[in-house]
Amino acid sequence: MATFSPLNVGSFEFWETPFDVREKVFAELRANDPISWQGPPDSLLVEPEQNTDGFWAITKYEHIREISRKPKVFSNSEGIFLEDLPEPVRVGALSFIVQDAPEHTFLRGIVSNAFSPRHMKTLEDWTRDLVIDLIESIRPKGEADICEEFTKQLPGRIFCSFFNITEPQQVHDAIEGAEMIVSWNDPDFTKDHEPIMVFANAAEMLQDVAYALAEDRRKNPGEDLMSWIVDAEFEGRKLEDWEIGGFFVLMAGAANDTTRHAMAHGMLAFEQFPEQKALLLSDMEKYLDGAVDEVLRWSSVILHMRRQVMEDYEIGGKTLKKGDKLALFYCSGNRDEDIFEHPMEFDITRSPNRHITFGGGGPHFCLGSVLGKQMLKHAIREVYTRMPDLSIGEPEYLASSFMHGVKHLPATWSPDKGV
Ligand code: HEM
């Protein structure tokens, strides 16, 4: 086995440094050791003896795409995070994102109905109205933690609409549980609980909502995702409650945290690059789609996904051995200078902009990419139309190697500017 790379991208210390500092390390890896063998990642989720021996860090855009599109060679079933989770927790809480075909194909198939073009169109109008309502509810105040009051609420409410969750306690648990499920390394969450308990408690909170919904929908089926799930059959059997619970946890994390943090990074980017904001405001409809894609590339909200090698495979001059683990670093691929000109510039006119923020393709490609983009589009349009002088203060970032998260973002604006 190769020796460990001196550029360690698996330590907590590394992930505590700012994005720009980390990117310099990734740039060096892309240039000199694009597929590097890394030591065991720091982890507080499992005992050290259960932790992985090491992993391959995949940092180039084309390698990430190649691996993503070979699901028979690169499996999801051993987990998706750099850090290992105890098996029962992983299987119980992450559903089809930690499965391969055929189970993955079946479960993903059930949810896919919810993402039909017809449903997306209905949701689009609804999303726009919700964005406007949320902004108008905070606009008179002139200041807010925009994460708490806007970016967290928007995907949270849309997610609840998928499952027709209306009961206030369940809405609360779904939104808070989704936030907690990706926060197992963050001091705000680990001050009271061990990291594994942060994850497990969040999963339980979400599963409880799922069980209550499932019980209700079996008696009162409707036109919502939970009604389809309780009715779905695979190999002649219906899903058990624990499978439904895992499914709900996956959907909550995937739908909420990603979109929320992408929006916050967008606001930070427009603050850091005022000329890009001026350009956007000069012709909103012309630049909006480009802005959405550039915010996505820039934010790389999911920093990595993990895979497990199922058979020896040659790539980039290295042999990945059966049983090895690897991490696809989307954050690095999205700054790959062989693909993106001036990758460290935020440029809403970038064209083409073939970012891999939703994954590198293949069967696990983000199921909610259309919806995520829709939410971002309406959020950007309405925020900058209704709060054109929005000014952003110091962000507070989530401590995580998985989610490029913004926990808090103080913002001010003039209530009487904008439409
Ligand atoms: C900015 C928003 C979003 C980003 C950046 C994002 C990113 C991703 C990424 C990187 C993956 C893994 C891809 C892979 O392994 O190849 C993924 C998977 C997934 N996403 Fe998203 N996502 C977003 C929004 C959403 C939304 C709104 C939903 C649902 C309403 C959603 C549902 C899912 C699901 C269910 C999966 C698992 C797919 C599978 O394993 O087959 N995502 N997403």
Tens-place pLDDT, residues 146-171: 999 999 999 999 999 889 999 999 99
Confidence of residue 92 (pLDDT cuts 50, 70, 90): confident
Dist. CA 192–CA 180, nearest whole Å: 13
- Of the two residues 411 and 114, the one the predictor is more confident about is 411
Question: Which of 91-100, 113-122, 205-214 has the weakest average pLDDT?
Answer: 113-122
Cα of 260 vs centre of ligand 1, distance in Å, is 13
Residues in the chain: 419
77 falls in which pLDDT band (50, 70, 90)? very high
Tell me the mean pLDDT in the region 63-70: 98
- The C-alpha atoms of residue 75 and residue 312 are separated, in whole angstroms, by 13
- 371-388 tens-digit pLDDT: 999 999 999 999 999 999
**Distance from the CA of 2 to the center of ligand 1, in angstroms?**
33
Q: Average pLDDT of the chain?
A: 94
Looking at the predicted structure, is the pLDDT value of residue 114 above 80? no
pLDDT score for 162: 86
Query: What's the CA-to-centroid distance between 214 and ligand 1, angstroms?
Result: 23
Atom of ligand 1 nearest to the CA of 261: 1
Least confident span in 35-39, 112-116, 193-197, 344-348: 112-116
Determine which residue's CA is closest to atom 2 belonging to ligand 1. 259
Provide the pLDDT for residue 1: 59
Q: What is the pLDDT of residue 337?
A: 98
Average pLDDT of the segment spanning 37-63: 91
Instruction: Ligand 1 pocket test: pick from 181, 206, 229, 358 the residue with the most ligand atoms within 8 Å of its Cβ.
Output: 358
CA–CA separation, 353 vs 209, rounded Å?
38
Share of the chain above pLDDT 70, in %: 100
- CB proximity list for 101: less than 8 A, separation 6 or greater: 71, 363
CB atoms near residue 273 (< 10 Å): 17
- The token pair at 170 is 């369940």
Q: Which atom of ligand 1 is nearest to the CA of 363?
A: 41
- Whether the CB-CB separation of 358 and 365 falls below 8 Å is answered with yes
Model confidence at 39, pLDDT cuts 50, 70, 90, reads very high
Confidence at residue 408, expressed as pLDDT on a 0 to 100 scale: 97
Is residue 118 scored above 90 in pLDDT?
A: no
Task: Flag the least confident range among 206-215, 226-235, 248-257, 335-344.
Answer: 226-235
Least confident of 115-124, 205-214, 406-415: 115-124
Distance CA(376)–CA(380), nearest Å, equals: 6
Beta-strand relationship, 237-238 and 233-234: antiparallel
pTM over 0.85: yes
Report the separation in Å between the CA atom of 414 and the middle of ligand 1, taken as the mean of its atom positions: 35
Would you state the torsion angle of the CA atoms of residues 361, 366, 371, 375, taken in this order, to the nearest 10 degrees?
Answer: -100
Q: How many CA atoms lie within 13 A of 3 on its CB side?
A: 2
Which residue, among 289, 377, 379, 370, has the nearest Cα to 118 in the 3D structure? 370
Task: Quickly count: other Cβ atoms within 10 Å of residue 391's Cβ.
Answer: 13
Please check whether residue 164 is in contact with residue 226, taking contact to mean a CB–CB distance below 8 angstroms.
Answer: yes
Position 117 scores a pLDDT of: 84
- With 70 as the cut, is the pLDDT of residue 306 above it? yes
pLDDT value of residue 237 = 82
Residues with CB under 6 A from ligand 1: 68, 96-97, 108, 250-251, 254-255, 258-259, 262, 301-302, 305, 357-360, 362, 364-368, 371-372
Looking at residues 266-288, what average pLDDT do you find? 98
The torsion angles phi and psi of 70, rounded to 5 degrees, stand at: -125, 70
Q: Mind listing the pLDDT tens digit for each residue in 193-232?
A: 999 999 999 999 999 999 999 999 999 999 888 998 898 8
44 vs 151 pLDDT, higher one: 151
Determine the residue of 95, 160, 366 to mutate for testing ligand 1's pocket, defined as the one with the most ligand atoms within 8 A of the Cβ atom: 366
Nearest CA to ligand 1 atom 6: 358
